[in-house]
Amino acid sequence: AKEQYHEFVIREVPVERLCRSHDVMTVNGQFPGPTLEAEEGDTLVVDVVNRGRYNVSVHWHGVRQMRTGWSDGPEYVTQCPVRPGQSYRYRFTVAAQEGTLWWHAHSSWLRATVYGALLIRPRADAAYPFDGQPARELAPILLGEWWDMNPVDVVRAATSTGAAPNISDALTVNGQPGDLYSCSSQDTAVFSVKSGETNLLRFVNAALNTELFVSLAGHNMTVVGADASYTKPYTTPVLLLGPGQTTDVLVTFDQPPGRYYLAARAYASAQGVPFDNTTTTAIFDYGDGVASSSPAMPTLPAYNDTATATSFTTSLRGLRKAELPSRVDESLFFTVGVGLFSCSKGQLCGGPNGTRLAASINNVSFVLPSAASILQAHYHGAPSGVFTADFPANPPVQFDYTAQNVSRALWQPVQGTKVYKLKYGSVVQVVLQGTNVFAGENHPIHIHGYDFYILAEGLGNFNAATDTAKFNLDDPPMRNTVGVAVNGWAVIRFVADNPGVWLVHCHLDVHITWGLAMAFLVDDGVGELQSLEAPPPDLPPC
């Protein structure tokens, strides 16, 4: 294992898409940003130097960060943001994880353009654990979203009025909308492939607010990993990735020479909520000199094809037997959903019926602190004015979460910066229950600092009496982000073996903006966080 160094200079550069140009925040002037390539066990040292005009912090999405919480990145949770003119050194090890992860800004909506792949390959003396080593791997495929205006302005406009933000103007593959958009014929990502080869393809859904179906014309894909955990091989014509999720697949290029579209578009179970219903494309080119006039187009599922979505997610199985004690020490039940705040005097009330949109877990709408990060406040034993440790283990009221007419009182969240304390080493089970208010998309729930097993998923209300029997304790998939259906549930389990403060949130940026978040605070088994390293000297002040 080696140590590698990188410098990420955050600066604005003009980027033109769809015939319009505006300045976007980038890393080293690149959009999408640079790919980090590591071997399992490597240590990465990354200096983030902010030469842009916004505060920024960078999160290494899916990296376990064992006892390195100061490098996790979410602003006001593990650090204060790096202000223009400042820099901060992140240092972490990628161990016991292999596959595709990614990094992204964790401030406002800057991750719309500040993101890139983080690949963790087996050590030089190790092989992939699947049959048939790929002849080679293609460049990572990053799915994203593009706005014709600065995404920070998009979210600022929405939070000032309480209304929903504008949907994106294009979906993208590696920053390019693709040639189905008008004024975009030059902006199509192209992948050159060779007849007969089997290649490894790595997908990341870096879109802000859109879960995506992905298909490659004429080719099936065999899923071998997701969120940097290996899966049993699963062959399918279509993938589903929620924002935050990654999927590694093998593809054999055994079709007649020519060009084939890779296409992606939204999955939204939809209840009249607007979403970007356009299609982004890239071209897979066999490069045999056969330039067919137009590439073959795959058939994508309909935007509301819940059957296909469910069949994809429930077909994934962990490659290895789950390593989980059979006991459960903490049994939590979290409702995740969108709701409304009643509007107070002097506020703009752009939400439905003169309200402001909000989102919550167990009816608590998360508010970022500003005086210090939660981790700093906790480390110094000074939570006062920063957070409280009274996040509820259960929703305040039990109700029919998926009923069409949920009583209004039950949608109205309270605001707070609340954490839930977990004992070091405890086995934690969380039932994540999606509610049915003002949401058309699954909630991709992401936990920082942890991978978790997904024991079961279903539609409707979770029913402990009957659904517990469906738990897969043998080969459940391990992930860092799980799509919780708007009208459904997922049950996850993990061992709280990583001391620190770990954000839990919906990876739709619009929902984190509205407060769909909380944090776990895990002690170190000694005292509180006494065995954690002291904050680095360059930790930015608030």
Helix (H) or strand (E) holding 512: helix 509-514
* Token pair belonging to 459: 């539609």
- State which residue, 114 or 216, has the beta carbon closest to ligand C2O: 114
CB 507 to ligand C2O: min, Å: 6
CB 422 to ligand C2O: min, Å: 18
- State which residue, 356 or 443, has the beta carbon closest to ligand C2O: 443
- Check residue 397 and report its DSSP letter: S
Helix (H) or strand (E) holding 341: strand 330-342
Q: How are beta strands 141-146 and 115-121 bridged, if at all?
A: unpaired
- State which residue, 74 or 434, has the beta carbon closest to ligand C2O: 74
Q: How many residues does the chain have?
A: 542
CB 499 to ligand C2O: min, Å: 18
Q: What are phi and psi of 384, to 5 degrees?
A: -55, 130
Tokens 């005009």: give the residue. Answer: 53
- State which residue, 61 or 356, has the beta carbon closest to ligand C2O: 61
CA dist 71 and 397 (Å) reads 37
- State which residue, 55 or 281, has the beta carbon closest to ligand C2O: 55
CB 107 to ligand C2O: min, Å: 11
Half-sphere exposure of 395 (CA within 13 A, CB side): 24
CB 295 to ligand C2O: min, Å: 32
- State which residue, 106 or 443, has the beta carbon closest to ligand C2O: 106
- State which residue, 356 or 448, has the beta carbon closest to ligand C2O: 448
CB 144 to ligand C2O: min, Å: 13
CB 60 to ligand C2O: min, Å: 9
* Token pair belonging to 274: 């607007």
Question: Are the C-beta atoms of residues 521 and 378 closer than 8 Å to each other?
Answer: yes
CB 38 to ligand C2O: min, Å: 18
Whether the upstream peptide bond of residue 32 has omega within 30° of 0, thus cis, is yes
- State which residue, 130 or 420, has the beta carbon closest to ligand C2O: 420
- Which residues, 6 or more positions from 204, have their beta carbon under 8 angstroms from its beta carbon? 100, 102, 117, 140, 141, 142, 143, 241, 245, 246
- State which residue, 65 or 433, has the beta carbon closest to ligand C2O: 65
In the complex, the residues that contact ligand C2O under the rule CB under 6 A are: 59, 61, 74, 104, 106, 244, 446, 448, 503, 505, 507
CA dist 62 and 135 (Å) reads 27
- State which residue, 245 or 433, has the beta carbon closest to ligand C2O: 245
Q: What are phi and psi of 314, to 5 degrees?
A: -85, -5
Helix (H) or strand (E) holding 160: helix 151-161
- State which residue, 63 or 154, has the beta carbon closest to ligand C2O: 63
Q: Give CA separation, 95 vs 41, 241, 375, in Å.
A: 5, 24, 23
- Among 96, 130, 475, CA closest to 321: 475
CA dist 415 and 443 (Å) reads 20
- State which residue, 205 or 231, has the beta carbon closest to ligand C2O: 205
CB 252 to ligand C2O: min, Å: 31
Give residue number: closest CB to ligand C2O.
61
Q: What are phi and psi of 161, to 5 degrees?
A: -100, -20
CA dist 104 and 238 (Å) reads 26
Helix (H) or strand (E) holding 205: strand 198-205
CB 505 to ligand C2O: min, Å: 6
Phi-psi label, residue 178: left if phi above 0, alpha if psi -120 to 50, beta otherwise: left
Helix (H) or strand (E) holding 204: strand 198-205
- State which residue, 61 or 493, has the beta carbon closest to ligand C2O: 61
Tokens 């578009």: give the residue. Answer: 265
Angle at alpha carbon of residue 300, lines to 295 and 303, rounded to 5°: 140
- State which residue, 140 or 298, has the beta carbon closest to ligand C2O: 140
CB 228 to ligand C2O: min, Å: 13
CB 206 to ligand C2O: min, Å: 9
CB 27 to ligand C2O: min, Å: 15
Encode 129-167: b = buried (16+ Cβ within 10 Å), e = exposed.
ebeeebeeeeebbbbbbbbeebbbebbeebbebbbbbbb
CA dihedral 485, 486, 489, 494 (to 10 degrees): 70
CA dist 221 and 237 (Å) reads 6
CB 365 to ligand C2O: min, Å: 17
